Structure 1
């Protein structure tokens, strides 16, 4: 048990280091890009990256989760693990080829996507390297320290390439290559080290059905999750223009970074919760889970209030005055942060340890339908603010659905004392932020934010 505890501690430390490095790189990268590239160009990049994420999903299927779960059972048998890894790699290569063919067909038949052809193909170059990298094999052997060191080194390399070569508005494609270079290099190192863990070989003669059925079930979960997370950018790009995608990308990236930072407490405690649920019964599980729920509320509510109160200032600080109309979207996504974190907690910390993946899939599926439907209703009228409001309402649905599904397993409403303390913190943060906003010279930005504030009020009124 002691060895397991130390292993969990090291894994948590490695995960924390990766998260912090990712946050630091993002805090340097995005303000720099916002000042070098235009809103429209960042919108082009984000839309192209969304399209590539769908191709990457098809290439990956549910292979990472399946291979990690099943391969761990064969870790102590090198011959059996080598056979299993070879079969999974062949399936992954086949799905990658299918993904590239599907992407080529979409570009061939869609005039809208053909406009983004060079950017899409550049970003998709990294898909094959992800397949060859077989990161799931390193997860099987719990090589989280190596993965953390590798990721940090190549994230720093990607940042150096970005600052060196991306200098003006014409360097959008170079920016795409810098991101691909980092991920491709990391996975190339993985590929070169595979022989250390198994002797793999290419073979087509094995029972595909044995692997494909569970892989496709996990793929369905990944598909619904990606639909829930990325559909707003895709719909915004198709229904409006690159300009509004660029505005939305600023707001979504800021809130995503904050969510990653606050959500790290979920990531590092899920293994312990799963262990407690499976081995020690409900009392210890309930106690730790309740403490995490309280902590999330204490952190998330004041953070959401700060983003709502200082939406304009955060946009300008993160990007530039050209991105100021994104303030309305920032306010909605800031409020969504609370429900998003709690929904994530109920899924990762309660439903999954209790083997209720189907219940989690049901909750996300319902929220995805809500999100897509509201996007069709709100985006034409309110553009990026409409997409953000749809996300807020979808996160609310996810949180409520997951809570009602999880409450049969654990009573995880935040304690009244902690909730009251958090609400008092919210009042203090809101007042402080309002005073700060008043002290800022409003003469220059007064007219800039009229459009975003008007969109915010109109969208709320329509929803009510």
Structure 2
């Protein structure tokens, strides 16, 4: 049954994201308190540069793998599947090697001439090894996802995050500082890649290994070409703000901003249903596609809206308790960035276009949004600091979401019901009116405030008929 398969994938994907985000928060809290703000800023900038260059390791290959391998698998044509797999694997390995060498060779130039921080050079050299292996782990995960198997996401999260936490804490505590933190990423990426490789061979070796059919490479490359632009654009979109902060402001402000973004990303990832809907959208057409979208959108908005509204209320105590009072400059940026939770939970549009073989639509729109983001960062960071970067990120994400939504309506007649947003917004405003009058002084009181807010929210939503008994029965049967 489709709903149960989606529910199962949501569970695996959500748990993998919870593990990843929990580990990310733990590492960031540990490093922020251990390295102090200047070295933590150097670490944050190193990781941001590495992830920015990681765009050249994907170039749309992961999404292309899911699209074409899932299609061949659904037809039962394993020879065609092997053809796609072997062709795309060769490209992925070559791109990973190229990007790793590129970062290694550029490390001195970037540290001296771009960021004017010579201590960045050595961490960037070590980060090049991380850039070699982590993309391969992501690629292997996409192969599993092509089989509608999201359990691998959980396996990857456990192997990667466990080794990352252990290695970073061990090396930093031994005095290796920023280098130890970066080496933790290297060890974790090697571990995850190795585990996923052996699991893939064991589970799907008979399907993937053997004679492959000659495929139409031109069609694959045409599809990938759009995703290539999209992959580079999206990565620039995600990390250019941090890099530009490092260009315009002292390096510690990169750390402040990354903390704000990390907290938002940790919550957004848990609510990110669109990722698991991609292979489902590949197989659906017409009314089935519209119905699957509407239900997924409705349930996602039901959870994401109150979280986006409520996070700013607890932002200051969360930063103070987790990272320390010296990182409170991150709070204002966190208030603004909390709106990205809606973008992550309700961003189905790109997945729909990619699933239907029309990646050019999200690519063109995302490219415009990326240019908008860079320009706004250039204008706003010198004036408003990291809050300006947050404003630029939210504004450009909103532009991307709105334009793709209307294109989806025009091309597929797939659109959301406005009531599915309005009712959660009204309920969230009532929730805020209640919890803003509560001033918790202890952690237990803060937890109680969140619980009360949730009760108020769902009670109002129930009165507005935003959630009905049939929804409860549907979700219960799906997850049972």
Long gaps (5+) in structure 2: 443-480
Change (3 A) 1:146 1:333: closer
Q: CA deviation at 1:297?
A: 3.4
Shift of 1:147: 4.7
User: For residue 328 of structure 2, what is the aligned residue in structure 1?
Assistant: 324
Q: Retained in 2: the 8 A contact 1:232–1:387?
A: yes
Query: Which runs of structure 2 are paired with 1:44-193 in the superposition (5 Å)?
Result: 44-72=42-70, 84-110=84-110, 111=112, 112=114, 115-130=119-134, 135=140, 136-167=142-173, 171-192=177-198
Q: Which residue of 2 aligns with 1:301?
A: 305
Unaligned runs of 5+ in 1: 441-464
Give me the whole-angstrom Cα distance separating, in 2, the residues matched to 1:338 and 1:7. Answer: 24
In the alignment, does 2:274 pair up with 1:266?
Answer: yes
- How far did residue 20 of structure 1 move? 2.4
Shift of residue 365, structure 1, vs aligned partner: 1.8
TM-score by length of 1: 0.80
Provide the residue aligned with 2:363 in structure 1.
361
Contact 1:19 1:260 in 2 (8 A): yes
SS in structure 1 of the partner of residue 338 of structure 2: helix
Provide, for residues 31-75 of structure 1, a one-character-per-residue CA deviation record: whole Å limited to 9, x for no partner.
223222212222212211122123322123222222333344555
Q: 2:438 aligns with which of 435, 438, 452?
A: 435
1:95-117 superposed Cα distances (whole Å, 9 cap, x missing partner): 23332343244335442465412
How far 1:236 sits from its partner (Å)? Answer: 1.0
Separation of aligned partners in 1, 2:295 and 2:219? 41
Secondary structure of 1:258's counterpart equals helix
Contact kept, 8 Å, 1:308 with 1:335, in 2: the verdict is: no
The aligned runs of 1:343-362 (5 Å cut-off) are: 344-348=347-351, 350-362=352-364
Aligned CA-pair RMSD: 3.3
Distance 1:378 1:41 in 2: 25
Shift of 1:285: 4.0
The offset of 1:212, in angstroms, is 4.4
Residue of structure 1 aligned with 2:422, choices 419, 426, 434: 419
Q: CA deviation at 1:243?
A: 0.9
Structure 2 CA distance for aligned equivalents of residues 315 and 260 of structure 1? 19
Deviations 1:189-213 (A, max 9, x none): 3445665524589xxxx99867644
Instruction: For residue 82 of structure 1, report the CA deviation from its aligned partner.
Output: 5.1
Q: Deviations over 1:120-153 (max 9, x none)?
A: 2222212332465550444445553345224313
Q: Which residue of 2 aligns with 1:399?
A: 401
Residues 1:238 and 2:247 are matched in the alignment: yes
Instruction: Give the number of equivalent residue pairs.
Output: 426
